[in-house]
Amino acid sequence: MNIRRLFLISIPYLWLLALFLVPFLIVMKISLSDLAIAIPPYTPTLSLSDGWQGIKGFWAALDIENYIFLTEDNLYWKAYLSSFKIALVSTALTLLVGYPIAYGMANASPEWRPTLMMLVILPFWTSFLIRVYAWMGILSKQGFLNQFLLWSGIIDDPLVILNTNTAVYIGIVYTYVPFMILPIYATLEKMDASLIEAAIDLGCSRLKAFWLVTIPLSKSGIIAGCFLVFIPALGEFVIPSLLGGSRTLMIGKVLWEEFFSNRDWPVASAVAVILLLLLVIPIILFQRNEQKQREAEQ
Amino acid sequence: MRSKWGSVVVPDQAIGGFMQQDDTSNEFSPWNDPTQTPLIEFKGVTKRFGEFTAIDNIDLKIYEKEFFALLGPSGCGKTTLMRMLAGFESSTAGVITLEGQDVAPLPPNKRAVNMMFQSYALFPHLTVAENIAFGLKRSDMPKSEIAGRVDEMLALVQLSTFAARKPHQISGGQRQRVALARSLAKAPKLLLLDEPLGALDKKLRQETQFELMDIQEKTGTTFVIVTHDQEEAMTVASRVAVMNHGQLIQVNTPDRIYETPNSTYVADFIGEVNLIKGKVTPLNDDIVEIHWAEGEQPLAGRSSETLAKGNDVTFAIRPEKVAISKERPDKAANMVQGEIIDIAYLGNLSTYYVKISTGQTIKAQAANNRRISRRSYTWEDPVWLSWTDTAGIVLTR
Ligand SMILES: Nc1ncnc2c1ncn2[C@@H]1O[C@H](COP(=O)(O)OP(=O)(O)OP(=O)(O)O)[C@@H](O)[C@H]1O
Ligand SMILES: [Mg+2]
């Protein structure tokens, strides 16, 4: 076994250890601690100056009280469920918006494709926060949208969109649609156009050929896009807190409030650990999809 | 049915059937019969992609039950012609009719035409059997019969054991056969095959060629086939069209194309040929003399055209029609002397490259009926080449 290879292999593992496993273990530890009025605001803290006794005492003070608390208060499981619902609905909406865009890009003439790709990525050049604030300006009662609709006579009273779930959906779809477009575009672009012609030649209408050939062949792109939207949307915090109303319940928002408003780090950490465990399931499914696709391509 | 089938080496089991039918009085040649209406007709068809003319004012009639081969160099417009028949390209000018009807308003899925794509275009997400069933499911065939038909097609292309595989799990040649089976499954009136056998090895290709002819015999489907392999075109086709730069140079039966090419382009494209340039002097009947080099005996040949004295012509003669001998032949219409500069050993045949006094090289082909070590000629041997006055052809184009 040569050292060079060992070294190369160890880099990603060290990276994972330093940037994922260690922080996770710290959060995990905090979630097992108790709230305290101190800095940091929890006990126990590990101090090695007390020697063996100190470590023993430290272990004894850890418990799963915070997790039990999460099951006792309705708020938390409702927040998880509501986040799940919002993430699911907005993933579906993103797919509905993103697929036609990806399809259009893949069918555009080759000299236009880089430009279209640029346009999709362009919003990332400004701050995410500013873009969400901009949506507040558009969706508010006196915002551009209402002004336009009132002016054109489509509505008589301004619509209430801001501070509702609708605004959250709009925000999530807007923010995450590039993540949907790019993987779908990647699968559509490498699809052989003669497949559609073959389907039509064998008696399909254009629509039928799309349904029987294009959709199944872009399946891996659709699945990848859906996970890329669903996973971050589930823990989303900025969009629901800026665009959502007081009744928009999302676990990211709950987490933020526990940390900063209540300063209850242990409970907040427990919420985070559960969220992470919940996300591991779709992440594993996503990995499976990627691997299956890679195998199919070989 | 067709006279030429008798002359082709046919696998044993297939030979019995049509050898007896080999009757020249009953020859299949609807193109010579003015009362026949063509299945397909191109009338002044032109196709342009922007400035580029891919198909240039083509007139062509293809008759029912024909096996029509398109031959030509890469990029000459063969695929484009097929795509116009299938309905994927519309003509810039001119009319294409199918059974007398202008096809322009018919979308591809409404035409009784199936196409086998050059790239096969197999659906990667479907199994071999599902690929073949794809068109059948879109037709009015009852569901209960589809499976049977798929099995039949799989047996035809010898892929029954691969029915459940995906296209990426089979070899290139097998993929090609799946594509063939898929396009045949719906038993279309007109089947377009774009280089259907290119990826097959020689033996499988020959077998499939006979299968194709057999299928055509059974189903009465009209085939239009694109091929780069002129031997294949010769074997399967009732007629061959030689294309170049979007134009049809010559359309005729394989033997006519080979024996009487209408231009040096066709003569050179189909098979091997010696081309000798010269000036013509018409003698009696259709015999002409060609003065091709200072101080050399003029060549005698035949021409069906009326030529004026002094016209520039090219004399074309196939290597296998040139006899090679050590001694000067007694009475031959044409003979030249030279020296063997190269020998290409082809197994059953050898091609001798003979350099004559003018510096030109003439190819002569002879059967190797002796073992190579006892061959009569070798490098640098002085030899005589000779041929009859009907062996060659005089071309003006
Ligand atoms: N969609 C298109 N746009 C522009 N030019 C095209 C298009 N399709 C074909 N051509 C051009 O038309 C010409 C004929 O193409 P075609 O595909 O018919 O050739 P081919 O005879 O089938 O060649 P090959 O034997 O290589 O398959 C080529 O020069 C090609 O570049
Ligand atoms: Mg082609």
Q: Whose alpha carbon is nearest atom 22 of ligand 1?
A: B79
Residue scoring higher pLDDT (B212 or A132): A132
Asked whether the predicted pLDDT for residue B14 surpasses 60, the reply is no
Residue B260, Cβ neighbours under 10 Å: how many?
A: 16
| Cα gap A294→A185, rounded to integer Å | 17
Check if the beta carbon of residue B63 is closer than 8 Å to that of residue B38.
yes
Cβ of B75 closer than 6 Å to ligand 1, yes or no, is: yes
* A14 in contact with B, Cβ within 8 Å: no
* B186 in contact with A, Cβ within 8 Å: yes
Structural domain boundaries enclosing A178: 71-297
Cβ of B77 closer than 6 Å to ligand 1, yes or no, is: yes
Predicted pLDDT at A83: 92
Residue A25 inside a domain? The answer is no
Substitution candidate for ligand 1 out of B48, B52, B116 with most atoms within 8 A of CB: B52
Cβ of B212 closer than 6 Å to ligand 1, yes or no, is: no
Q: Whose alpha carbon is nearest atom 20 of ligand 1?
A: B75
Q: Whose alpha carbon is nearest atom 25 of ligand 1?
A: B74
Asked whether the predicted pLDDT for residue B116 surpasses 50, the reply is yes
Which residues 208-227 of A have a C-beta within 8 angstroms of B?
Answer: 208, 212-213, 216-217, 219
Q: Whose alpha carbon is nearest atom 1 of ligand 1?
A: B49
pLDDT band at B371 (very low <50, low <70, confident <90, very high): low
Predicted pLDDT at B5: 40
Collect all residues with Cβ–Cβ distance below 8 Å to B278 and sequence separation of at least 6. B290, B291, B292, B293, B298, B299, B312, B313, B314, B315
Cβ of B131 closer than 6 Å to ligand 1, yes or no, is: no
Tell me which ligand sits closest to the C-alpha of residue B53. 1
- Going from the Cα of B78 to the center of ligand 1, the distance in angstroms, rounded, reads 8
Which residues 78-137 of B have a C-beta within 8 angstroms of A?
Answer: 86, 88, 107-109, 113-115, 117, 119, 121-125, 134-135
- Going from the Cα of A194 to the center of ligand 2, the distance in angstroms, rounded, reads 13
Spell out the domains of chain B, with CATH numbers in brackets: 7-112+188-265 (3.40.50.300), 272-395 (2.40.50.100)
| Cα gap A63→A65, rounded to integer Å | 6
Residue A66 inside a domain? The answer is no
Predicted pLDDT at B13: 40
Collect all residues with Cβ–Cβ distance below 8 Å to B209 and sequence separation of at least 6. B197, B232, B235, B236
Predicted pLDDT at B6: 37
Q: Min CA distance, B203 vs chain A (Å)?
A: 28
Residue A167 inside a domain? The answer is yes
Q: Min CA distance, B150 vs chain A (Å)?
A: 14
Predicted pLDDT at B17: 37
Check if the beta carbon of residue B273 is closer than 8 Å to that of residue B364.
no
Most confident of A178-187, B273-282, B301-310, B346-355: A178-187
| Cα gap B339→B383, rounded to integer Å | 6
Reported for A280-284, long-range contacts at CB under 8 A and 24+ positions apart, including other chains, are A282/A227, A282/A230, A282/A231, A283/A227, A283/A231
Pairing between β-strand B239-244 and β-strand B222-227 as defined by DSSP bridges? unpaired
- Going from the Cα of A5 to the center of ligand 1, the distance in angstroms, rounded, reads 50
Residue scoring higher pLDDT (A265 or B281): A265
| Cα gap B72→B60, rounded to integer Å | 16
Substitution candidate for ligand 1 out of B49, B71, B117 with most atoms within 8 A of CB: B49
What whole-number percentage of chain B has pLDDT above 70? 92
* B141 in contact with A, Cβ within 8 Å: no
Predicted pLDDT at B322: 85
Q: Which helix (H) or strand (E) is A182 found in, with range?
A: helix A165-189
CATH value at residue A171: 1.10.3720.10
- DSSP secondary structure string, B281-323? EE-STTEEEEE-STTSPPEEEE-SS---TT-EEEEEE-GGGSE
Predicted pLDDT at B375: 65
What average pLDDT score do residues B337-352 get?
84
- Going from the Cα of A108 to the center of ligand 1, the distance in angstroms, rounded, reads 20
Q: Min CA distance, A91 vs chain B (Å)?
A: 25
Cβ of A217 within 8 Å of Cβ of B125? The answer is yes
pLDDT band at B26 (very low <50, low <70, confident <90, very high): low
Asked whether the predicted pLDDT for residue B300 surpasses 70, the reply is yes
Cβ of B114 within 8 Å of Cβ of A195? The answer is no
| Residue-wise pLDDT tens digits, B147-166 | 999 998 898 888 899 999 99
Smallest CA-to-CA distance from A164 within A242, A281, A245 is with: A245
Q: Min CA distance, A43 vs chain B (Å)?
A: 57
Tell me which ligand sits closest to the C-alpha of residue B74. 1
What spatial distance separates the first Cα and last Cα of chain A, rounded to whole Å?
Answer: 29
Asked whether the predicted pLDDT for residue B9 surpasses 50, the reply is no
Substitution candidate for ligand 1 out of B79, B228, B248 with most atoms within 8 A of CB: B79
Residue scoring higher pLDDT (A57 or B4): A57
What average pLDDT score do residues B361-376 get?
76
Smallest CA-to-CA distance from B221 within B365, B114, B333 is with: B114
Give the lowest-confidence range in A56-70, B111-125, B241-255. A56-70
Asked whether the predicted pLDDT for residue A46 surpasses 50, the reply is yes
Asked whether the predicted pLDDT for residue B310 surpasses 70, the reply is yes
Give the lowest-confidence range in A56-60, A144-148, B175-179. A56-60
**Mean pLDDT value across chain B:** 82
What whole-number percentage of chain A has pLDDT above 70? 99
Residue A43 inside a domain? The answer is no
| Cα gap B144→B130, rounded to integer Å | 15
Question: Who among B109, B121, B124 is closest to A217 (CB)?
Answer: B124
pLDDT band at B392 (very low <50, low <70, confident <90, very high): confident
How many structural domains is chain A composed of?
A: 1
Residue A136 inside a domain? The answer is yes
Residue scoring higher pLDDT (B391 or A135): A135
What average pLDDT score do residues A116-131 get?
91
- Going from the Cα of B79 to the center of ligand 2, the distance in angstroms, rounded, reads 4
Asked whether the predicted pLDDT for residue B24 surpasses 60, the reply is no
Cβ of B119 closer than 6 Å to ligand 1, yes or no, is: no
- Going from the Cα of B137 to the center of ligand 2, the distance in angstroms, rounded, reads 28
- Going from the Cα of B352 to the center of ligand 1, the distance in angstroms, rounded, reads 37
ipTM above 0.85, yes or no: no
Cβ neighbours of A201 in B, within 8 Å:
86, 88, 108-109, 113-115
| Cα gap A25→B304, rounded to integer Å | 96
Work out the burial of residue A158: count CB atoms within 10 Å of its CB; fewer than 13 is exposed, 13-18 middle, 19 or more buried. Answer: middle
Residue A32 inside a domain? The answer is no
Cβ of A199 within 8 Å of Cβ of B123? The answer is yes
Residue A19 inside a domain? The answer is no
Written as six digits, the tokens of B171 are: 């070899």
Residue A229, CB half-sphere, CA atoms under 13 Å: how many?
34
What spatial distance separates the first Cα and last Cα of chain B, rounded to whole Å?
Answer: 34
Cβ of B80 closer than 6 Å to ligand 1, yes or no, is: yes
Predicted pLDDT at B162: 93
pLDDT band at B16 (very low <50, low <70, confident <90, very high): very low
Residue A222 inside a domain? The answer is yes
| Residue-wise pLDDT tens digits, A230-256 | 989 998 888 998 998 888 889 988 898
What average pLDDT score do residues B358-364 get?
85
pLDDT band at A1 (very low <50, low <70, confident <90, very high): low
Q: Min CA distance, A145 vs chain B (Å)?
A: 43
Residue scoring higher pLDDT (A237 or B373): A237
Substitution candidate for ligand 1 out of B56, B76, B227 with most atoms within 8 A of CB: B76
Predicted pLDDT at A179: 94
